[in-house]
Amino acid sequence: MKMTKHVASRSQQRNIPKLAITWIKEFGHRVYDHRGGVIRYLDKAARRKLEKAVGNQVVNKLGQYLNCYLVEDCESGMVITVGHHYERFHIA
């Protein structure tokens, strides 16, 4: 997975493990932000897919890290930034 230096610093500052970033990239729901990026986060359907893949107990134990999002470049797929998801995304 390609990531910028910004992602490495933000994930460390925000206490988001690389495993959570990998899961969000693999299973996350995609929303285009109309600025050349894609926002990925785990909605209800994505969490169900993740539970089927890794197991319910693992998802429950690491649930605090799954309320995160990442932004990736539309063309290259490089992860640009990560953060905690506190409220609904409003994409026009």
Domain membership flag for residue 89: no
Give the structural domain span for 38.
5-84
Phi-psi label, residue 39: left if phi above 0, alpha if psi -120 to 50, beta otherwise: beta
User: Per residue in 15-53, pLDDT tens?
Assistant: 899 989 999 999 999 999 888 899 999 989 999 999 999
Angstrom distances, CA of residue 33 to CA of 37, 48, 62, 80, 89? 6, 24, 27, 13, 10
Domain membership flag for residue 90: no
pLDDT reading at 92 higher than 60 = no
Domain membership flag for residue 92: no
The count of structural domains within the chain is 1
Domain membership flag for residue 91: no
